[in-house]
Amino acid sequence: MGICDLLLDVASTYDQGQGTATGVHAQDRLRATGNEWADLLPGGFEAEGNGGSGGASQTPWIGVYDPAVTRDPKKGLYLAYIFAADLSTVSLTLQQGVTSLKNTLGEGEKRRSYLRSRAETLRTGLPPSLLAGWEEQPLFRCKLSRALSYEAGSVAARTYNTADMPTESSLRRDLWHLAELLQHAASAERLLKDEETTNGLRTTGFVSDPPTGFTGLDGFRPKDGRDYVAHIAQRTVTVTRDHENLIDGFGRYIEPRGFVPITEKMHPKDLVLRRGGVEWLVEAKTVKKGNPTKAVREALSQLFEYRHFLYVQQGQPKPHLLGLFTEDIEVYAPYLEERGIASVWKTVDGWAGSPRAVEWGMVDMQ
């Protein structure tokens, strides 16, 4: 089940009067979103449908979260598909959490004005090329305070007419595009500056210029091979949910293609694949803000280091090398190929990869 099918099913069957009980078709479909969309979301993202709690919502919605930013729609930034009250439209929006502001700003115009000021300021700190073609505030045709706050809190949005929905591939491209914009917005949000003005609390700018790129990599410099092996064996490795989801999704995908994915007792390796007595060393990396540079650098260095210290110096046969990424690494795929490293990445339609990955049978030729 894709994005389009689920959205259309909810739009055509949702009835607020039926409540939220199990067995109400549209409510069941919303609750199933997380599982149904798990394999089509950008790497590491999670989805959760919401048709109301206590009573059915006038504007049902589906949250799409980057756990590194927030999993809580009450605060922080996230993506959402929000239906208009008449179900004639559904809007994909980069949304600010609104509920956490209730205690300090209430639920009326004071909260909405503050949210609008934050959204306007955030947009000035985002890449114009990523904002081009996206509207600012959708309309949900609902007078309830929360729906009005969602309109005010939107940073970027695209509204779809449920009677004339775009193709599945277009919907997925829009979602992946907005997921990239979310990562930029999350970096900029941390620098927002609030001030009390004559018109109430407002976001008036940034405490410093929003970040425009990545900082350099810090290196570990062991004196010899024993130091290196001791270091990677003893260090604490921070594993994020998006990293785990990438490995899990790829493992479930690659096993039916004849590979045996192994993570148990493989530390510090992310993943090992085996087939017919041959081994592949896999390094998984999350691409942030649509910029694969850092992810590729880290994958390249770790693959060479692990092969040298964990295989060659241990007297083990050299494994094949594979970089696994949450999205297309573009010009870096041939760069890695020239260095003997294949690459596979998640796409809006499944998985794709470099010529070596095609040759090994990991992905189909594009």
Predicted local confidence at residue 123, as pLDDT = 94
**Cβ atoms within 10 Å, residue 365:** 8
User: What digits encode the pLDDT tens for the residues 303-362?
Assistant: 999 999 899 988 899 999 999 999 999 999 999 999 999 999 999 989 999 999 999 999
Say if residue 165's pLDDT is above 70: yes
Number of C-alpha atoms within 13 angstroms, CB side, residue 166?
A: 14
Q: How far is CA 98 from CA 29, 77, 155, 346, in A?
A: 25, 10, 13, 32
Predicted local confidence at residue 289, as pLDDT = 80
**Cβ atoms within 10 Å, residue 10:** 25
Predicted local confidence at residue 211, as pLDDT = 60
Say if residue 287's pLDDT is above 80: yes
361, 362, 365, 366: CA torsion to nearest 10? 170
Predicted local confidence at residue 240, as pLDDT = 59
Concatenate the DSSP letters of all residues of 280-324 into one string. Answer: EEEEEE--BTTB-HHHHHHHHHHHHHHIIIIIITTTPPPPEEEEE
Average pLDDT of span 16-24: 95
Coil, helix or strand at residue 275: strand
Average pLDDT of span 265-285: 91
pLDDT bucket at 291, cuts 50 / 70 / 90: confident
Coil, helix or strand at residue 10: helix
Complete domains list, the chain, with CATH: 3-206 (3.30.930), 225-359 (3.40.1350.10)
Average pLDDT of span 241-263: 90
- The mean pLDDT value of the chain amounts to 89
CB 100 within 8 A of CB 148: no
Gyration radius of the chain over CA positions: 23
> Cα–Cα distance between 103 and 117 in angstroms, integer?
19
Q: How far is CA 23 from CA 5, 29, 62, 257, 338, in A?
A: 19, 10, 19, 37, 55
Ranges assigned E (strand) in 177-298: 192-197, 200-206, 260-262, 271-275, 278-285
